[in-house]
Amino acid sequence: MKIVLASASLRRQELLRQMGCAFEVLPSTVQEDNTLKLPTDELVVAHAKAKAMDVAGRSLDGTLVIGADTLVVLNGQVFGKPRSQIEAKDMLNALSGQEHKVVTGLAVIQCSSGHSWTDFSITQVKFGHLSQEEIDRYVASGEPMDKAGAYGIQEKGALFVESIHGCYFNVVGLPIYKLAKILKKAGVFLP
């Protein structure tokens, strides 16, 4: 069965390879709308499903399409990817010394039947206190600009993380345990 990842995220691609999954990449053109008045878990699932459906509409029968969306939530405020260095600094200042949630939605669509499976994962992440100098240096590195919440736990952003409770891979952007369970339901059994 052919599997397509509806994301250009190198981190998600790396995690799928780690799972032993053979796949192709066909990025979705869907733009996330974080202003929708939905609970965060429903919002990320809606985004993931919209991305998967977009790509499924361009794929052949017999294909499974994987969509995912990750957001950071602090006290009810949703942080997507920063649109500027100023926004990245604002996000990191807000997260400094705080515990926040990382929420990832998953959607898998079987093109031949239109059947879909969805799930989400939530991980609690606690940041240590960050100095303005640390934030400025990190933002100047460019690393936070394509990441929800303006940090990557698998890169230099790990220096800010005091603790996590939940799935580490969810914070990277793809909760692989939950994805493997969905793929199994769709008939894909990974090693």
Q: Which residues are catalytic?
A: 69
Instruction: Let me know the angle formed at the C-alpha of 156 by 154 and 162, rounded to the nearest 5 degrees.
Output: 80
d(CA 102, CA 100): 7
How far, in Å, are 13, 86, 121, 166, 188 from residue 20 at the CA level? 11, 39, 21, 22, 11
d(CA 5, CA 55): 9
Tokens of 56: 């499924």
